[in-house]
A = this chain, B = another copy of it.
Amino acid sequence: MTTPAPRTTLPRTFTRDLAPHDGQTVRLQGFVHARRDLGGVQFLVLRDVTGIAQCVGQNLTLPMPESSVEVIGTVKAHAKAPGGYEIQAQQVHVLSEAVQAPPVEIPKMEWNVNPETTLDYRYVTVRGLKERATLKVQAEIVAAFREHLIDEGFTEIYSPKIVSAGAEGGANLFELDYFGQRAYLAQSPQLYKQIMVGTFERVFEVAPVFRAEEHATSRHLNEYLSLDVELGFIESEEDVMDVETRLLSAIMTRLRARASAEFDLLGAAIPDVPQHIPRIELLEARRLVQERYGHAVGGKDLDPEGERLLSQHYAEQHGTDFVFVTKYPKAARPFYAYPEGDLTRGFDLLFRGIEITSGGQRIHEHAMLLQSLREYRIDPAQMEGYTEVFKHGMPPHGGFAIGAERLTAKLLGIANVRYARAFPRDRHRLLP
């Protein structure tokens, strides 16, 4: 079994910080990343959150991979060791011994197993280098999102996830029993962020949302992290796109400063965000992909192939990964989208071929909202909890939402959004 490490006054050193300790005795803590016993000499590669260190010694304990250990030894420059230093280990203390080998070799960059299997064992495969890098990038995206919006005068809100009705009228809702009442899991904080514009004018939220969508695609999750923004006293949806442009720029700046190593590990590039992201009206975008690529888009919207082609056009012709598609028709937008004839002030943001944001100006007047509900054939009585808000002088406002996993996946070249979430939920997956 395991032996308690002796208490020591030696502070912990991280593997990335060996150079300043050259020649000194240090205490490392981490996981057994790899081990090799050459008879007279043992090698143990220790992994901590900052990197790895090669530890060499004699008569060393070499517990099973992923065991957690403490190594006490002397730092020595060694050209062939990772980072240019190795540890001449005097002691290896096992803090907690693994009792089963992981289903994949954690140190390897590629695992030759069914990807579903890596999700089944996510409670340990999440230690993989790519997995760690992906989730670290996600945390930095979210941190930049908050930090930038706070700098622009936004206030964070925390809206309920157990709700009495869906924000978009009832489809795709998970239902639950709430002390005998029927309740649902929020598919969006839409109503609440609009209400809170009345309090703070500019608000954001970072929280899970839930969509009971039956279909399995590479871009949908049944539970995902929604980065929501809403702001009041706007002139039009143009103001909202301006905020989103600055926000994306701030996110990329933070990623460059704090996650370059992760992008390098994953072979991905951090995009430049142009000062002005191009904006094209939907009808014009449909015409463009038809004329330029011969792709006729059905329906009222852009289909995934249309999104891909439009992005390709902007990448090739304008050198940018980003494009706003604006003026979506009512048929492709929820009832609360601000109307302009048959169109709305709704927009999508495409990034590298896929929509990563939906946003727009919202209806802020009570009478206009009731009119819209009639047009959408939604019973106003059912939406009273929503419409009452607009009796109280809501200012012109708009906002958008970014799916954190989808943005992470597209930034890192991850084909399926499930691998951009630590513990994904899909049609069949509730574990771990």
Contact = CB atoms under 8 A, between A and B. Distances in A.
B126 A422 contact: no
Given A12-B233, A195-B432, 12 more contacts: A49-B155, A49-B201, A64-B393, A68-B393, A98-B391, A99-B366, A131-B199, A146-B146, A163-B430, A175-B177, A176-B177, A181-B430
Contact of A432 (B178, B207, B385): B385
Contacts of A191: 432
A131 B66 CA distance: 49
30 contacts: A2-B365, A7-B235, A29-B395, A31-B198, A49-B201, A67-B393, A68-B233, A96-B395, A98-B393, A99-B391, A100-B392, A102-B392, A123-B392, A124-B392, A127-B198, A127-B392, A135-B155, A136-B200, A143-B150, A143-B156, A158-B421, A160-B208, A160-B423, A161-B161, A162-B210, A162-B222, A175-B177, A176-B176, A179-B212, A181-B430
A-B pairs, top 3 by smallest CB distance, nearest first, are A98-B393, A68-B395, A67-B393
Interface string A119-146: 0000110110001100110110011001
A394 interface: yes
A367 interface: yes
Given A146-B146, A156-B143, A225-B158, A395 B95 contact: yes
Contacts of A314: none
Given A422-B158, A423-B159, A66 B199 contact: no
Interface string A190-220: 0110011011111000111010101000000
A124 B389 contact: yes
A179 B216 CA distance: 12
Chain B CB within 10 A, most for which of A12, A98, A146, A178: A178
A55 interface: no
A431 interface: yes
A142 B146 CA distance: 11
Interface of A: 1-2, 7, 12, 29, 31-32, 48-49, 63-64, 66-68, 95-100, 102, 123-124, 126-127, 131-132, 135-136, 138-139, 142-143, 146, 150, 153, 155-164, 174-179, 181, 183, 185, 191-192, 195-196, 198-202, 206-208, 210, 212, 214, 222-223, 225, 232-233, 235, 364-367, 385, 388-389, 391-396, 404, 421-425, 427-428, 430-432
